[in-house]
Amino acid sequence: MILSQFIILGAALFSLGVYGVLTRRNAVLVLLSVELMLAAVNINFVAFDVFLRDSIAGGQIFSLFVIAVAAAEVGIGLAIVLLIFRNRQSANVDELDLMKL
C-alpha cells in the first residue's frame, strides 16, 4: 500500500477542519469542522496501523475510541449550542465573548 496517499488525505482533511473551525461563524459548523479533524486523525490511526502491521491492531481500536468520544462530544456540544441559541436567538460564536472580562 502507499502510505503517503492516506497521510495526504488525512492532512488535507485536517486542514479543511482547521479552516472551518477558524472561519465559520456558526457554532454548528464549527462543531462539524471539529468532526472533520477527528476523522483525519482516524484516517492516520488506521493507515499507520495497517502500515505497521500492528499485532494487536491498536490504531484501529483507538480510532473506535475516538469515534465514541467524538459522538459524545457532539452530543454535548450540540446541547450547549441549542441552549445558547435558546437564550440568545443566535449561534454566532463571535457574539459569545463572555470569556472577556
Partner 1 sequence: MLQLLTNLNTIILATEEGGGHAEALSDGGVLASMAWLIPVVPMVAAFAIVFFGKKMPYKGWDIAIGVMAFEALYGTVLLLSHISNPIAKDFSVEIAKIGDMAIEWGWSVDGLSIMMYFVVGVVGFLVFAYAKGYMEGDIRFTWFFASFTLFAGGMLVLVSAPNFIQLIVGWELVGVASWLLIGHYWEEHENSSAAIKAFLTNKVADVGLFIGAIMISMSVGSFRFSDVMHAIEEGAAHSPVLAQFAFWAGLALFIGAMGKSAQFPLHVWLPDAMAGPTPVSALMHAATMVTAGIYLVGRMFPLYAVEGFADEVRWIIITIGALTLFLTGLIALVQDDIKKVLAYSTLSQLGYMMAAMGAGAYTAGLFHLFTHAFFKALLFLGAGSVIHSVHSNNMSDMGGLRKHMPQTFWTFAIGSVALAGVIPFAGFWSKDEILASFEYAGGHYTAAQGGAALGTAVLWIAIAGAFVTAFYMTRTVWLTFFGEYKGKAHPHESPKIMTYPLIGLAVGSALFGFINWPGVTHVFTDIVGGRAYEGFHDLEHHAESLNAVLALLGLAAAGLGWYLGWRIWGPDRETQAERDTFKVNGLYPVLEKKYYIDDAYMNGVIKPIRGPIAAAMNWFNGHVLDFIVNGAGLLMKSFGKVVYWFDQRGVDGAINASGAVTGAGGGMLRLLQTGKVQQYAILIFAATVVLVAGLVIWF
Least Cα distance to 66 among 92, 89, 96, 36 occurs for: 36
In the beta sheet, which residues pair with residue 26?
A: 92
Q: Which residue in the set 21, 46, 50, 57 belongs to the binding site for partner 1 (CB under 8 A)?
A: 21
Burial class (CB in 10 A: 0-12, 13-18, 19+), 28: middle
CA distance 95 to 18: 20
Nearer to partner 1, 4 or 64 (CB): 4
Q: Which residue in the set 2, 22, 56, 76 belongs to the binding site for partner 1 (CB under 8 A)?
A: 22
Nearer to partner 1, 29 or 50 (CB): 29
CB 29 within 8 A of CB 20: yes
- Asked if 76 touches partner 1 (CB under 8 A), the answer is no
CB 28 within 8 A of CB 20: no
Nearer to partner 1, 52 or 96 (CB): 96
- Asked if 98 touches partner 1 (CB under 8 A), the answer is yes
- Total of residues contacting partner 1 (CB under 8 A): 13
Q: Which residues bind partner 1 (CB under 8 A)?
A: 18, 21-23, 30, 93-94, 96-101
